[in-house]
Amino acid sequence: MNHSENKWTLDAVMEIYNMPLLELVFRAATVHRQFHNPREVQISTLLSVKTGGCPEDCAYCPQAARYYTDIEKNDLMSPEQVRTAALRAKGLGSSRLCMGAAWRNVKDDAEFDQVLELVRTVNALDMEVCCTLGMLTESQAQKLADAGVYAYNHNLDSSEEFYKEIISTRGYEDRITTLENVRKTKMTICSGGIIGMGEKVADRCQMLITLSELDPQPESVPINALVAVEGTPMENQEPVPIWDMIRMVATARIVMPQNVIRLSAGRTNMSYEGQALCFM
């Protein structure tokens, strides 16, 4: 996606976010139709290929080893296990499989070699392959690209200011660096954030601005609603109001009109009516 020459200001994006709801949805739908077929929605499936035991302290994540959650720690899945899961997802309509591993960063070891084999396994099924494995070096990103990864997911999570309230084990700049390493390859970028963590509207809007200023912009921008999990520091966060998700998706569509805005975590907790307003 082309980098916009006209940079967004925080005041301008917040003004959009706070528009009367139906006016906001209408404007977003109008902009969306200039660049996308409104009748097309890509279905993607997220598969955790290595679950639990992550050394980081992301306050929202039940896979962090330091939190006592019901997440069962599992070793890296085998190619046959992934192939079975991918075929099931494809049969249900998914054209993209995103494989996630609970790592802080990728290491050049046997497990990374196995991930490359998983990528080749899914590629053989004629599905787009997305990976989210933590931080990457430039050489690791190139190996993933060579194996056939179509997109790499690495979220900014929130604004740089609020980010410090939820994570201390990985800096905001570390995330930007990983995105830069991915951009040096043929892989596309999937990067967005989470709402409902206690952040302000200004943080949500600033995150969108930061994403829009990446050059080029991420091809995909997932908007996630916090799924509060017992045992994490955010277990008592109130559920994200459906109107907040609708506003966030609509604002993202206006700020980055050429990009694919993805309704991600928390979607299954939304009513069909709420999802419909996001997809208009």
Q: For residue 265, what pLDDT is reported?
A: 84
Rg for the chain, CA atoms, rounded: 18
Q: For residue 5, what pLDDT is reported?
A: 56
Find the domain containing 219 and state its range. Answer: 10-279
Helices (H), the chain: 10-17, 21-35, 79-91, 110-123, 138-147, 160-166, 172-183, 201-212, 242-255, 272-279
Q: Residue 96's domain is classified under what CATH number?
A: 3.20.20.70
In order of 101, 116, 120, 233, the CA distances from 178 in angstroms are 16, 18, 22, 26
Contacts of 91 (CB under 8 A, 6+ apart): none
Q: 264: closest CA among 214, 218, 226? A: 226
The pTM of this model reads 0.92
Active site residue 130: yes
Active site residue 131: no
Q: For residue 258, what pLDDT is reported?
A: 95
Contacts of 109 (CB under 8 A, 6+ apart): none
Q: Which of 98, 131, 205, 278 is catalytic?
A: 98
Distance, in Å, from the CA atom of 276 to the CA atom of 152, rounded to the nearest integer, reads 27
Q: Which of 204, 247, 262, 278 is catalytic?
A: 262
Query: Which amino acid, one-letter code, is at 21?
Result: L
Q: Which of 96, 183, 190, 247 is catalytic?
A: 190
Q: Which of 58, 131, 205, 278 is catalytic?
A: 58
Distance, in Å, from the CA atom of 265 to the CA atom of 247, rounded to the nearest integer, reads 16
Active site residue 267: no
Q: For residue 146, what pLDDT is reported?
A: 96
In a domain, 224, yes or no: yes
Torsion (CA) 58, 207, 221, 256 in degrees, nearest 10? 180
Question: Average pLDDT by consecutive 10-residue portion of the chain (280 residues)?
Answer: 70 98 96 93 91 88 87 90 96 94 85 94 95 94 96 96 94 95 97 96 98 96 93 92 95 96 85 85
Q: Is there a contact between 136 and 106 (Cβ–Cβ < 8 Å)?
A: yes
In a domain, 1, yes or no: no
> What is the number of structural domains in the chain?
1
In a domain, 138, yes or no: yes
- What is the sign, positive or negative, of the torsion defined by CA atoms of 5, 11, 17, 23? negative
Active site residue 262: yes
Q: Which of 96, 130, 205, 253 is catalytic?
A: 130
Active site residue 61: yes
Active site residue 58: yes
Q: For residue 1, what pLDDT is reported?
A: 45
Active site residue 98: yes
In a domain, 3, yes or no: no
